[in-house]
Amino acid sequence: MLTKLKVDANLATSVCEIEMSKPIAVAIPDKDPVEFYQAGYHKTQLISELRDNFRDFGVLLDQAKIFASGVFGLLVLKNAVDVTDVTGAPQDMVDRTLPPAWHRIANAVTVLIESLELDLVSYLCENGGEPYVHLSPQKGDHQGADKSRDGMRGHTDGIIFPPNVVERYHPHFPPGPDAVVLTGIRNPDAVKTNIALMSRIVRKLERPTIYTLMEKKFRFYPQSSFTVPAEFLDEEAHLDEQSVIEQSPNGFRIRFSNSSIQAMPGDAEAEKALDELKRAVADCYTGVSIEPGDVILVNNNTAIHGRSPVGMPGNENEKRWLLRTYAQIVRPAKYCLDKSKPFALCICS
Ligand SMILES: O=C(O)CCC(=O)C(=O)O
Ligand SMILES: [Fe+2]
């Protein structure tokens, strides 16, 4: 079932692409993705079915482990899920009126993620905890609709949360997502998702710049999709004295956004380092067109992602449509389903 395994030498072993000769084929039900996840079918029967049916599953799992270790910033699984029968087009990031044909795709991705020993997660404070969010251009001129059509500058998702370091739980915030999982349903204009890998960025930075970025000299604002209650932030709704780069046993980790991170006021050194980082990131983009059936996993600790502008075709069924979810490599059980915290890690209905 596995036809091609490609590790991109130009990117210094940082991208792994696996082309599957046919999409994962197990008896995935059409159930609502949240119910499917909560019912736990995927944990047992379907995962073992997938492992049995898929001769080269071991290769896939090995590569997923290398991805989880941070060596690959990007794992591209071509032709991983079957999207041929999908109907409808999402009108919003969470769209309850959408025909349920997409459920099967989401459920296949759930089985895939969990079979690769990653944990599917969502945040209660982002889209009400919905695990599968539709990224598709929306009509209208409100802020969310504009955003859905615009290009996106590079960022990591969930910057307001600390990185996922098990030995150092934050008293309030769950850790940020370890991986952003994007599944292609439609992409007729081959709109690119742009990826900049930390392994390349770091080589473009002077050592003192890296040290400055590791200091707690930066102010972070929550990205617009996250609703963080004011009491958990500083007075003006930001988090002060954060670092942009951290060291971990697996190398550097980064939290990045062009617009939601600033140097602490008056800190010229931090401002200069952030400007240098922005220039380095801009030099490092590789464009990936996520085709229907592809699943890409972006390591949200070691890669920055953005995208080119998305067109709005006349025919709704020809617009770009990606499903997005998050996965954790190490699930910090302390936060799971703790609904007393508005930003609990969870999968909610
Ligand atoms: O549309 C894409 O390719 C990526 C979108 C993204 O990064 C986001 O919604 O946070
Ligand atoms: Fe993103």
Q: What is the DSSP string of 283-297?
A: TTEEEEE--TT-EEE
Q: Is the CB of 294 under 6 A from ligand 1?
A: no
What is the atom index within ligand 1 of the atom nearest the CA of 192? 3
Task: Look at residue 1 and tell me whether its pLDDT is greater than 70.
Answer: no
How confident is the model over 225-237, as a mean pLDDT?
87
pLDDT in the model for residue 42: 72
Q: Is the CB of 135 under 6 A from ligand 1?
A: yes
Summarize pLDDT for 58-74 with one digit per residue, the tens.
Answer: 888 999 998 998 888 89
**Residue-averaged pLDDT of the chain:** 89
CATH number at residue 158: 3.60.130.10
The pLDDT > 90 percentage for the chain reads 62
Instruction: Give the confidence band of 168 by pLDDT, cuts at 50, 70, 90.
Output: low
Task: Look at residue 9 and tell me whether its pLDDT is greater than 50.
Answer: no
pLDDT in the model for residue 260: 96
Q: Is the CB of 305 under 6 A from ligand 1?
A: yes
Ligand 1 mutation pick, 152, 192, 323, max ligand atoms within 8 A of CB? 152
Summarize pLDDT for 202-218 with one digit per residue, the tens.
Answer: 999 999 999 999 999 99
Instruction: Give the confidence band of 250 by pLDDT, cuts at 50, 70, 90.
Output: confident
Instruction: Give the confidence band of 297 by pLDDT, cuts at 50, 70, 90.
Output: very high
The number of domains in the chain is 1
What is the atom index within ligand 1 of the atom nearest the CA of 223? 10
Domain limits for position 316: 2-346
Q: Is the CB of 322 under 6 A from ligand 1?
A: yes
Task: Look at residue 13 and tell me whether its pLDDT is greater than 50.
Answer: no
CA of 257 to the centre of ligand 1 (A): 13
The residues pairing with 78 across neighbouring beta strands, listed in sequence order, are: 19
Task: Look at residue 12 and tell me whether its pLDDT is greater than 70.
Answer: no
Instruction: Give the confidence band of 45 by pLDDT, cuts at 50, 70, 90.
Output: confident
What is the atom index within ligand 1 of the atom nearest the CA of 305? 7
In the block, residue with structure tokens 């997938």: 50
Q: What is the DSSP string of 281-346?
A: HHTTEEEEE--TT-EEEEETTTEEEEE------SSGGGS-EEEEEEEESS--GGGTT-TTSTT-EE
Instruction: Give the confidence band of 334 by pLDDT, cuts at 50, 70, 90.
Output: confident
Ligand 1 mutation pick, 94, 135, 148, 149, max ligand atoms within 8 A of CB? 135
Q: Does an H or E element contain 134, and which? A: strand 133-135
Task: Look at residue 5 and tell me whether its pLDDT is greater than 90.
Answer: no
H helices present in the chain, as ranges: 33-39, 45-53, 57-69, 103-115, 143-149, 198-201, 207-214, 268-282
pLDDT in the model for residue 275: 98
Cβ pair 250, 166 in contact under 8 A: no
